[in-house]
Every structure is written in C-alpha cells, then in structure tokens.
Amino acid sequence: MLIMNILIESTKIKQGNHYLNHKINYVESEKMNLYLHFWGGGTFSQKDFFSKHYQVYYILNGEGTFIFNKQDYPIIPGDLFILKPHAEYKLEDKSNVKMLFFAFEPDSLTESKELMEFFDRIEGVEDFEHLLLNDQFNMGLLWKEILIQSNQQTIFTQEIIEPLACTLIKIIIQNFYQQIIGLKSNDLKNSKVLESNEIIYNAKLFINDNLAKPLKLSEVADYLHVSDRHLSRLFTKHLDVTFTQFVRSEKMNKAAILLATTDLPIKKVAQKVGFDTVHYFSSVFKKVMDIPPGEFRSRLQSD
C-alpha cells in the first residue's frame, strides 16, 4: 500500500484553525445543518480521547493504534475517522502522529429521515472499523488547501474558504453516510432496543431522584453518557413526549402528591419540585392540572 504523507507546517495549521474557529462555525444546506464547535490539529500527545460532540479526524502523517471497545485498530496517513459523542478511545504506540480534526453537532435534521437514521446508526456502531475510512488522501489535500488559504488573510479569504470548508464537511459526511447506512443490522448493537429502554429507564430514575433541581436535558444526557440529541429522540420515540414535557409532568405529579398527603406550605412544595417562586409554580401547576394548587388542596380536604 502506498502511504502518502501530507506535509503542512504546524504554524500554518495553528493560524489556519484560528481563522476557521472565528469564521466557519455553521454549515447549512437543504438536507443538513451542523454546528461546528472547534477546528484543531497538530501533533497529538494525549492518549485518551473523549468528547461531548462528534469529532472527525484525518491522519496527516505518523502511525499509531486506536483502542475502542478493547479492540486495536492501526491508523496510518490517509485515514479518516469519526468519533461519536460520549465514547472513550485511546491512542497507543503513536509515532509523531499529526492529525487535523473538527468537532460538530447535528442541527435541524427533522426534515431528513435519512440523516436522522444515519446519526442514530452511529450511536449503535460497536466496531471502530465501521467509523474508519482509508485512503482519503483527496480529503487531506482539500483540508490542507483550506488551511493554506486561511493563512492568506486577504479580502477574498472568507469568500474562498466558506464554500471549500462546507464542501469538505459535506463530502466527509457523505462518505461516512454511504458506509454506515449500508451496515447490516448485525453490525450494530444487537441489543439496540434493550439499550434504548435501559437509557429511558435510567433517565426516569435520575429525573425522579432530582425533581428538586431545575433539570436540563444536557445534565441528564451527561449523566447517562449519551448525546443530548440522542436522549431527546428516545423520549419522543418511546414516550411520545419531549424531555421538557416529561420533566414538567413528573414535577407536577410529585407536587400533587405533596399537596394531598402533607401540610407543607405551597412555597415549600414549589421548592421541592424545583421552582424558585410560588407564582411560577402555581402557573405551571394550573396549566398541567387545570386547577390552581391552593384550590386543588382545598377540594381534597373538603372531600
């Protein structure tokens, strides 16, 4: 196999990424919108890899071994791979590995069922080889050209860079899409449904244990080691409600129980389900239960 090292000075990588991080933060198209959280690259010294977002890496030069799910996967120049959120990887036996990467998060995929399925499938991939593309030298050359042009800093730079960067990202996503969407079901987690049920079950437990807090989707997703988007999709798919609707319902159910079974002042009840003010709590309670909390308690006592 012919190994092609793509050479680019570290200073150009650093300066180019500085420009990209300021100017290229979003990719918008008819089928797909992506937030770009960070552009980076250089010689990697770290051993452990973890991110809350999707990350795409390209190997410029050097070699190493990626470890995922206790399996070893050699990486060489020309390799392009995608890391899924909340997954842990290790890079061992690295020999001056120089890489380029960007971190991203899908946005507004609801109009494209194909892309929704694509990102759902990534969540179920267990073998790193399915997240790896070999011999992607054309991608490396295009990426290098983007960095070189980003160093120019002329009146034409942004006009040149924006379409090039968007084209690079779209081609990369397209190439991974073709590979991952073609996987057979047995290449994905056999326990995908069971795993989804387990995530929902543990999410419910965490929510009910923390009703006194102003729970956020990101907080629960971090606790469960899944992406915000994936957890949100599971709530909609399996419970037919949004995360926010579920949390609000659980808080109001807990409040109703406290109003019915204790003599706690309404202010205390509000605090126990994560509300700072009685006014806001009463407003939400009435919206969900069709009756103000004070009247709810009075009717129970009169009965």
Q: Quick count: other Cβ atoms within 10 Å of Cβ 147? A: 22
pLDDT of residue 191: 44
Q: Are strands 71-75 and 33-43 parallel, antiparallel or unpaired?
A: unpaired
**Residues carrying CATH 2.60.120.10, the chain:** 10-186
In this structure, which amino acid lies at residue 281? F
Mean pLDDT, the chain, integer: 84
pLDDT of residue 262: 87
Local structure of 166: helix, strand or coil: helix
* Burial tier of 299 (Cβ tally within 10 Å: 0-12, 13-18, 19+): exposed
> What is the C-alpha to C-alpha distance for residues 225 and 185, in angstroms, rounded to an integer?
23
> What is the C-alpha to C-alpha distance for residues 300 and 252, in angstroms, rounded to an integer?
16
> What is the C-alpha to C-alpha distance for residues 283 and 179, in angstroms, rounded to an integer?
50
**Residues carrying CATH 1.10.10.60, the chain:** 191-303
> What is the C-alpha to C-alpha distance for residues 105 and 54, in angstroms, rounded to an integer?
6
Which long-range contacts (C-beta less than 8 Å, at least 24 apart) are formed by 202-210? 203/231, 203/234, 203/235, 207/246, 207/247, 207/250, 208/250, 208/254
pLDDT of residue 168: 92
Question: Helix 278-289 crosses helix 243-261 at what angle (to 10 degrees)?
Answer: 100
pTM above 0.85, yes or no: no
Could you give the angle at the alpha carbon of 67 between the alpha carbons of 62 and 70, nearest 5°?
160
> What is the C-alpha to C-alpha distance for residues 54 and 169, in angstroms, rounded to an integer?
13
- Token pair 């991939």 is found at 125
Whether 6 and 77 have beta carbons less than 8 Å apart is answered as: yes
In this structure, which amino acid lies at residue 149? Q
pLDDT of residue 178: 85
Could you give the angle at the alpha carbon of 250 between the alpha carbons of 197 and 299, nearest 5°?
145
What's the topology of domain 191-303? Arc Repressor Mutant, subunit A (1.10.10)
pLDDT above 90 covers what percent of the chain?
33
What's the pLDDT tens digit per position in 140-198?
899 999 999 999 888 999 899 999 999 999 899 988 988 887 776 555 554 455 467 77
pLDDT of residue 195: 64
How does DSSP classify residue 240? S
What's the pLDDT tens digit per position in 83-112?
888 888 888 877 778 999 999 988 765 556
pLDDT of residue 39: 95
Domain at 10-186: CATH architecture: Sandwich (2.60)
